[in-house]
Amino acid sequence: MLKKNGLLKELVTNRLLFLMLLPALIFFLINSYVPMVGVYYAFTRFDFNTSLFNSQFVGLDNFKFLWQSGVLARLTLNTIGYNIVFILLGNVLAIALAILLSELRLQWFKKLTQSIMFLPYFVSFVILSVIVYNIFNYESGFLNSTLKSFGMESVDVYNTPWVWIFLIIIFYLWKNIGYSMVIYLASITGISEEYYEAAKIDGANIFQRIWYITVPMLKTTFVMLLLFALGSIMKGQFDLFYQLIGNNGVLYNTTDILDTYVYRSLKVTFDIGMSTAAGLYQSLFGFVLIMTVNYIIKKINDEYALF
């Protein structure tokens, strides 16, 4: 009773706010929540002749293929490992570049370089993989031609698994840095000039101003990007791995992630039950992780929490 009054009262006093939020709520209700019934596919055997809820219930059968080959642990570790590096390096670099860029004076240079750094975002991984092959292939690659002309021995990059850990990270950063940099640039723009003026008067040099004003002001943005990235830590970057590695089984030990594994395993059959099961595993993992992290963040500082 009391609760209801609370909600009702809130609805009345903030009716305009509710109204303004309504489009977003309706959107997610229809576009995201309604299809969530499909989660049930993970527990049934797909059948063309009957509806989802009349299909045969098979328990956890659809999850079996995940651990059948004994690679689930490795895949999970690979996926998380890469994502953690992506998150940390990606954000640190983006912040660094955004700060440097924001301090530059030459306007035309600033604008031009910003645009150019965004270019890689438009290069699809299909095309990136072609370029990478062109640089690193054994017989005629750019790298080996150069090495040969210096009288050095050729290196076989495509059969050397450990190199790809670095290559994958480098190309991820190359492609995405421009995108996340924009977010930080916008955040820096939002910082009031008054803080800097005050700091200058107090005698803070440029490094101190960056460290004590700019960086702390970017914390909210960073935490938000972090939380989003953590929630999907078991997913993501499928194209990067799939296009760069593809059929090259030699490299799988260090470069196979859950998404590529699931894709390859189900490519021919496209089994709806099994692919939903894999998605559910990824979701649950992210869910548990995000609830924990958000809880910790909330304990430290309520401001930064996502919800």
Partner 1 sequence: MTKKAAKAVSMLLSIIVFITVLAACGSNNNNGGSNSGATNAPKETEGTTTEETGEKPGIDTSKKVELQFYMLGDAPKDIASIQEQVNKMALEDLNATVKFNYTSWTDWDQKYKLLLGSGQQVDLIFTAEWTQYQSYAKKGAFQPLDEILPVAAPTLNSYVPADMWEAVKIDGKIFTVPATYKEYVTNGFVWREDLREKYNLPKPVDVATFEQYLEGIKKNEPTMTPLSMNSDVKTNLMDVYKSIAHTPIGALPYGIEVDYKTPSDVTSYWGSDAQKEDLVTMKRWQDNGYMVKNVLAVKDTLQDQVTSGRAAALLGDNPTRFNDMVIKIQATHPDWKLGYHPFPLTNGIATPVHPIHNGFAIPASSKNAERALAFYEKMVTDKRYNLLTQYGVEGKNYEIKDGYYSMIGDSNSNGFAREGMNGWAWRNPEYMLFDKNYDGVKAIFDELDKIQTPDKFTGFAEDYTAYQAERAALEQVEKQYLFPLNAGLVKNVEDGLATFMEKANQAGLEKIQAEYTKQWLAYVADQGIK
Partner 2 sequence: MKIKDDSYMKWFRLIAFVVILGATVLCLFPFLLIISASFTQNDAIIKDGYHLIPTVFSFEGYATVFRFPKQVLTAYGVTTMTTIIGTTLGLFFMTMAGYVLQRKDFKYRNFFAFMIYFTTLFGGGLVPWYILITKYLKLTDKLEVLILPGLMTPFLIILMKNFIRSAVPDEVIESAKIDGANDFTIYSRIVLQLSMPGIATVGLFLALHYWNDWFTSSLFINDTTKYQLQYYLYNVINAMSFVAQMGSGTGVSLGDMPTESTKMAMSVIVTGPILFLYPFVQRYFVKGLTIGAVKG
Residues that bind partner 1 (CB under 8 A): 29, 33-34, 36-37, 40, 45-54, 61-62, 64-65, 68-71, 129-130, 133, 136-139, 156, 158-159, 246-250, 252-253, 256, 261, 264-272, 274, 291, 294-295, 298, 307
The amino acid sitting at 175 is K
What is the C-alpha to C-alpha distance for residues 78 and 284, in angstroms, rounded to an integer? 17
- Angle (CA) 226-233-178 rounded to 5° is 55
By a kind-dependent CB cut-off of 5 to 8 A, residue 239 interacts, out of partner 2, partner 1, none, with none
Stretch that binds partner 2, among 12-20, 63-71, 75-83, 247-255 (CB under 8 A): 12-20
Nearest to 120 by CA among 128, 112, 129: 128
By a kind-dependent CB cut-off of 5 to 8 A, residue 103 interacts, out of partner 2, partner 1, none, with partner 2
Per-residue binder mask for partner 2 (CB under 8 A), 88-127, x = binder: --------xx--xxxxxxx--x-xxxxxxxxxxxxxx-xx
Pick from 183, 213, 240, 258: which binds partner 2 (CB under 8 A)? 183
By a kind-dependent CB cut-off of 5 to 8 A, residue 203 interacts, out of partner 2, partner 1, none, with partner 2
Nearest to 98 by CA among 185, 196, 210, 215: 185
38-67 positions binding partner 2, by CB under 8 A: 38-39, 41, 52
What is the C-alpha to C-alpha distance for residues 240 and 173, in angstroms, rounded to an integer? 11
By a kind-dependent CB cut-off of 5 to 8 A, residue 267 interacts, out of partner 2, partner 1, none, with partner 1
Check binding of 85 to partner 2 (CB under 8 A): no
What is the C-alpha to C-alpha distance for residues 117 and 104, in angstroms, rounded to an integer? 15
Match 């963040």 to its residue by tokens: 297
Buried b or exposed e, range 186-197, using 16+ CB within 10 angstroms: ebbeeeeeeebe
Whether 224 contacts 307, CB under 8 Å = no
Check binding of 188 to partner 2 (CB under 8 A): yes
